[in-house]
Structure 1
Amino acid sequence: MNIGWIKIIGATFFELIWVTGLKYAVLPVEWAITILAILGSSYCLITAGNTLPVGTAYSVFVGLSAIGTILVEFLGFGIFPSFWQLLFIIILILGVIGLKLLNEKVER
């Protein structure tokens, strides 16, 4: 696996932390974690662009972040996604898989 893809996964992980932090952070330590997660997400995404096409990297990052955010809401806070959210999550997943497969063909 290309280091760029690992950085995209890391950027997504940090993204999920800071998005959740923006909604639920109250204490100064929670805000500090949120700010560090914003910096970590930005760093990982920017440096992933060194080894991956920027458009592909950003598209996969946004798709994974959207899917992850809905999963965090459901698993962590009991907010169940609607039918339409589930439908579009499936479309996003198919798009992310397609972009990953296309990038692998270009690298060869």
Structure 2
Amino acid sequence: MNIGWVKILGATFFELMWITGLKYAELPWEWAVTCLSIMGSSYCLITAGNTLPVGTAYSVFVGLSSIGTILVEFLGFGILPSFWQLVFMVTLIVGVIGLKLLNEQVER
């Protein structure tokens, strides 16, 4: 696996942390983790662009972050996704897989 993809996964992880932090942080240390997560997400995404096409990297990042946010709300906070959220999550997953497979073909 290309290091760029690992950085995209790291950027997504940090993204989910800071999005959750913006909604639920109350204590100073929680806000500190939120701020560090913003920086970590930005760093990982920016440096992923060194080894991946920027458009592909950003599209996959946004798709994974969108899906991850819905999953965090469901698994962590019991907020059930609607039917349409599930339909569009599947659409995003298909798109992310397609972009990754297309990128592998271009690299050959």
TM-score scaled by length of structure 1: 1.00
- Give the corresponding residue for 1:68: 68
The percent identity for this pair of structures is 83
SS class of match (1:51):
coil
**Superposition map of 1:85-100 within 5 A:** 85-100=85-100
For residues 39 and 80 of structure 2, the distance between their equivalents in structure 1, rounded to whole angstroms, comes to 29
Counterpart code for 2:61 = F
**Superposition map of 1:20-99 within 5 A:** 20-99=20-99
Structure 1: 4+ residue segments shifted above 3 A? none
Cα-to-partner distance string for 1:14-35 (whole Å, 9 max, x where unaligned): 0000000000000000000000
Question: Displacement of 1:105 after TM fit?
Answer: 0.1
For residues 44 and 96 of structure 1, the distance between their equivalents in structure 2, rounded to whole angstroms, comes to 18
Question: Displacement of 1:65 after TM fit?
Answer: 0.2
SS class of match (1:79):
coil
Counterpart code for 1:41 = S
- Give the corresponding residue for 2:7: 7
For residues 56 and 98 of structure 1, the distance between their equivalents in structure 2, rounded to whole angstroms, comes to 10
For residues 22 and 38 of structure 2, the distance between their equivalents in structure 1, rounded to whole angstroms, comes to 10
Q: Which runs of 5+ in 2 are unaligned?
A: none
